[in-house]
Amino acid sequence: MAEPIRVIERREETLEERRQRVLERLADAVVHEEQAAERLIQLVALAEDKGLLPMLTALLERGDRVLAHVVDLLARDEYTSALQNAIGLAQALGKFDPSMLAKLVDGVAGGLADAKEATAADGKPLGVFELLALLKDPNVSYAIRFLLGFLSGMGKTLRSQGSPD
């Protein structure tokens, strides 16, 4: 009859076996995420070229002291209101419809380009009849209606919140 097993001998992985296993796993990951690996290498190279990598390394090495200094700075009165304003602005941006905000930004960019072109081309003052003719322009009319609608909605909201007139 066979003898019972009383001791289980666990086989320890050697350093070379572990190294080989880790290298195979990393090689599989690089092959699977080839584009991400290339972008990561490019990002690190750019950070090194611009001198950001040594700065980030030093920042991370002294992270606790840097974080304590940042917290001390933000606790000052002059920075507290700026931080509260930044948080309020971030919350306000979250309330906007992204597609409408994108249209508005595109409209502002187009308006600024046209305004620059119009003011550079002609230096004479705007006459009354010229102004009346511009009001018949469908683009100008649309922008004025949009602006008046915006002002109406803003006024309605401000009144409902009890803001001073």
pLDDT digits (tens, 9 = 90+) for 80-132: 888 888 889 888 888 888 888 888 888 888 888 888 877 776 667 778 998 89
What are the pLDDT digits (tens) for 11-43? 888 899 999 999 999 999 999 999 999 999 999
Q: Give the CA-trace dihedral at 94, 100, 103, 105, to 10 degrees.
A: -30
Are the C-beta atoms of 79 and 73 separated by less than 8 Å? yes
Res. 163: pLDDT tops 70? no
Residues 50-61, mean pLDDT to the nearest whole number: 87
Which amino acid makes up residue 30? V
> Does residue 101 or residue 148 have the better pLDDT?
148
3-class DSSP state for residue 3? Answer: coil
State residue 77's pLDDT score.
80
Res. 165: pLDDT tops 70? no
Which amino acid makes up residue 58? A
State residue 89's pLDDT score.
87
State residue 23's pLDDT score.
93
State residue 18's pLDDT score.
92
> Does residue 1 or residue 52 have the better pLDDT?
52
| Rounded distance between C-alpha atoms, residue 83 and residue 157, angstroms | 25
